[in-house]
Structure 1
Amino acid sequence: MPQTIAFTKGHGTGNDFVIIADPAGDIDLSDAQVAALCDRRFGIGADGILRVVRSAAIREGAGAAASGAEWFMDYRNADGSAAEMCGNGIRVYVKYLLETGLAELPDGGALAIGTRAGVKPVSRPDDELEVDLGVFAIDADDVLVRAKGLPVARPGVGIDVGNPHIVVALPAESELDGLDLTVQPILDPAPPRGANIEFVVPSDPLVHHGVGSIRMRVFERGVGETLSCGTGVAASALAVRYWAGAAAPDRWSVDVPGGTLGVRIFSAPDGDHVALSGPATLVYSGEVALA
């Protein structure tokens, strides 16, 4: 008989996930099972899977366990491939831990979560959860991006926030709206690990009351276009900040099809960090039989 497992559906600004609690690491999902669960017609439907597992119970979590992070976010894309990091997913993950009593987040404190991109602290400075994505890297070498709906290839800048991104600036919202992201954009040269691809339009004015503002759409590696991508939001803000120069602000508001997220750049002993804040929602829970 098929194995039946419990799940919860959650999302962060429309970037949605199937959450599976597996503290002891007993559930081994194949790529095909992940894809079946994420299928929007024949499964639950999601952009990816969040497996809630103790760091000590998963091979990739050994370093996180040694550093004191009890929980590891085992994130899988909708096609079953493992991903290093998910900025919306980690907030939804922590929301699940808090709502189910698996963890606590005291006022003014942070909850350390293991990921394939390292341990990420999640805090709650206001009403929303904020994740410190850590030190970021900018690769100024242009990558040409061809996308359906763009009349010519456009240069993109590489941004690494624990996972790889290519960010492309567009001059007008009409170009952003005219993109057909049902077709995967082509990168030249193609990054060895692939990349999420963001298309951004700066607001006019770019900065209002000290906060930068942009609008973004994204094609996620292993998923396709999503309503939101947390790390992509951070990468987009970092790219526009880089293009804008030294006078650019350290706080950004980023509009995506699923809502609005906040980005904050701040100094830390190991260099500048980027943090992402926004809502996290648990929608419903149920049981499903694995194929």
Structure 2
Amino acid sequence: MTTTVRFTKGQGTGNDFVLFSDPDASFDLTPERIRALADRRFGVGGDGVIRAVRSEKHPEGAAALAEDEAAEWFMDYHNADGSVAEMCGNGIRVFTKYLIEQGLTTLEPGETLAIGTRAGVRDVQLSRGGYLVDLGRWSLTGGEPEVTARSLPVARPGLALSIGNPHVVVALAGADELDGIDLGVAPVVEPVPVDGANVEFVVPEEPLVADGVGRIRMRVHERGSGETLSCGTGAAAAALATRYWAGQGAPDQWRVDVPGGTVHVRMFATQDGEHVSLSGPAELVFTGDLVI
């Protein structure tokens, strides 16, 4: 049975998404339909699909409401291959803009909007040039797995982190190595992460720190989507890993340049531990109808 979906295409630093509203979770969002929406040749095309569902109507939304009763909306995020993802840093900014443009919520300067995700509730605010999201607590999760990538001469050690979703960050020697990696093929991580991982490759700018802000370049292969022009949680992971490697005295504010633009990362103390935030642009590109 076919269904017509009213969708909006959105992007944040080139990380692009197909968004649609399904407040009561009445649409049968199968992996096949997700792949059809995300298909760049036969569908709309995107790195992921985001469904706007009221938290009270989504099976995983109850946990969000238990954490924060203000989390009216749940970001039901799926990778382009139809698999489920816990969190998306660029996606949640685009999702927030979508909710506002659709008249589903409001967000004024100085206010905070609580959004339910599979990684927990995330708070979003307006920022200069876009939106800022508190990605919550981060953690080191799995030592230094070995990463092999096509066109990278030898395997490199990575640093495993969680930003609500799993990441492995690899430091490279310079821009030539970063530009030369073929991410059309998924990097191999050993030992294999239980839930897979996004893999980020990073090089420092010269100088690493300017005016108190750390500066890095990054490319990423996203679990379930392939190479993308940007990854918000990946940018946060890359900044955290670089600060970790740099040692004492490294800054808590970072500029991360990705193929699709620039995002900004900040680490800050809270009562429940150190949090990391991400800020950057969000754009809604076009709206249409697709029969799937």
TM-score, reference length from structure 2: 0.98
Match of 1:54 in 2: 54
Moved more, 119-128 or 231-240: 119-128
2:287 matches 1:285: yes
Match of 1:255 in 2: 257
**Contact 2:268 2:276 (8 Å CA) reproduced:** yes
Aligned residues: 290
**Contact 1:12 1:92 (8 Å CA) reproduced:** yes
2:159 matches 1:157: yes
Match of 1:267 in 2: 269
Q: For structure 1, which runs of at least 5 residues remain unmatched after alignment?
A: none
Q: For structure 2, which runs of at least 5 residues remain unmatched after alignment?
A: none
Match of 1:5 in 2: 5
| Deviation per residue, 1:186-222 (Å, 9 max, x gap) | 0110110000000000111100000000000000000
Amino acid in structure 1 at the alignment position of 2:229: L
Amino acid in structure 2 at the alignment position of 1:228: S
Amino acid in structure 2 at the alignment position of 1:55: S
Matches within 5 A, 1:181-260: 181-260=183-262
Match of 1:36 in 2: 36
Amino acid in structure 1 at the alignment position of 2:79: N
SS in 1 for 2:110: coil
Match of 1:88 in 2: 90
RMSD over aligned Cα atoms: 0.9
Could you tell me how far apart the structure 2 residues matched to 1:98 and 1:230 are? 20
SS in 2 for 1:225: strand
**Contact 2:125 2:131 (8 Å CA) reproduced:** yes
Could you tell me how far apart the structure 1 residues matched to 2:47 and 2:194 are? 22
Q: Displacement, 1:183?
A: 0.7
Q: Displacement, 1:3?
A: 1.0
Amino acid in structure 2 at the alignment position of 1:192: V
Q: Identity rate of aligned residues, in percent?
A: 60
Amino acid in structure 1 at the alignment position of 2:130: E
Could you tell me how far apart the structure 2 residues matched to 1:2 and 1:140 are? 44
Amino acid in structure 2 at the alignment position of 1:50: I
**Contact 1:108 1:125 (8 Å CA) reproduced:** no
Q: Displacement, 1:42?
A: 1.1
| Deviation per residue, 1:30-60 (Å, 9 max, x gap) | 1111111111111111000000010001000
Amino acid in structure 2 at the alignment position of 1:259: G
Q: Displacement, 1:140?
A: 6.3
Amino acid in structure 1 at the alignment position of 2:18: V
**Contact 2:127 2:279 (8 Å CA) reproduced:** no
SS in 1 for 2:196: coil
| Deviation per residue, 1:49-102 (Å, 9 max, x gap) | 000010001000002123211000000000000100000000000000111111
Could you tell me how far apart the structure 1 residues matched to 2:28 and 2:89 are? 23
TM-score, reference length from structure 1: 0.98
Moved more, 67-76 or 57-66: 57-66
Could you tell me how far apart the structure 2 residues matched to 1:37 and 1:274 are? 31
Amino acid in structure 2 at the alignment position of 1:25: A
Which aligned runs of 4 or more in structure 1 are off by greater than 2 angstroms?
none
Match of 2:115 in 1: 113
Q: Displacement, 1:139?
A: 3.5
